[in-house]
Amino acid sequence: MVEVQHILGDVNFRSCAGTILSKRWVLIAAHCVGKNPGIFFVYFDVDEFGIEQSIPRPLDGMSMIVTQAFKHPQYAPMNNDIALLYMPQDITFSNNIQPIKIAYYESIRFVTKDAYVVGWRKKNTTSEGTMETMKLKYATLPIIENNVCRQYWPINGNHICTAAELGQFACPERNSNDPLIVRKNGQDFQIGIMMSYEDQSCPDNLFRVYTKVSSYIDWILEVMKRY
């Protein structure tokens, strides 16, 4: 997991989750990039961070400044919500900084499996004058058939649905872009990126929608081949 902060561009200040694909590439949601990408801070190995004047301040980890972002050309709200960031130098891998595997095409069948969503959530309630902290947490969720989810959200074959989160994962407080991961043969595979609810209500009793990463393998490889 990485923390991506969009600090200069055509959108308000954003703080988004991302995942490492290789030494130079990070996968994020397109709604984190904006129409005209600007400058991003990318933080690695961040377990928790503080919120100061509504701005996340990582309390640990390393960082890079990134200026090259590639948003899916057909991105629209609720469709093709996927993007890539190109790092200016190699990411130094360690025990805590590793690339995620992604599910290629339909090699991993999702429905009826449990997946887990990972994201930063409030660590505790702080007293006045102290910095609120967010900690990396996860929740396990069952994957739902798309034809069931379609009764509530306008989705297609490029989406994945899960049951709604409970507790701290219900209606994310920050931009919705957490990765959805399944485990197979002892290995983790990213299968989804949570889509944004910023322009819609987020009732805590409905399903959650994710961009289905395996639908975009060809596009991801095409972009990565340029560098």
Give tens-digit pLDDT for 143-189.
988 899 898 888 999 999 998 765 545 555 544 688 999 988 888 99
Give tens-digit pLDDT for 75-113.
988 899 999 999 999 999 998 899 999 987 554 567 767
- pTM (predicted TM-score): 0.85
Give tens-digit pLDDT for 36-65.
667 888 988 876 665 544 445 554 567 899
Q: Angle CA(192)–CA(93)–CA(195) in degrees, nearest 5?
A: 15
Structural domains in the chain plus CATH codes: 2-99+216-226 (2.40.10.10), 101-214 (2.40.10.10)
Cβ pair 45, 39 in contact under 8 A: no
> Strands across the sheet with 68-71, in order?
62-66, 39-44, 2-8, 14-20, 25-28, 83-86, 68-71
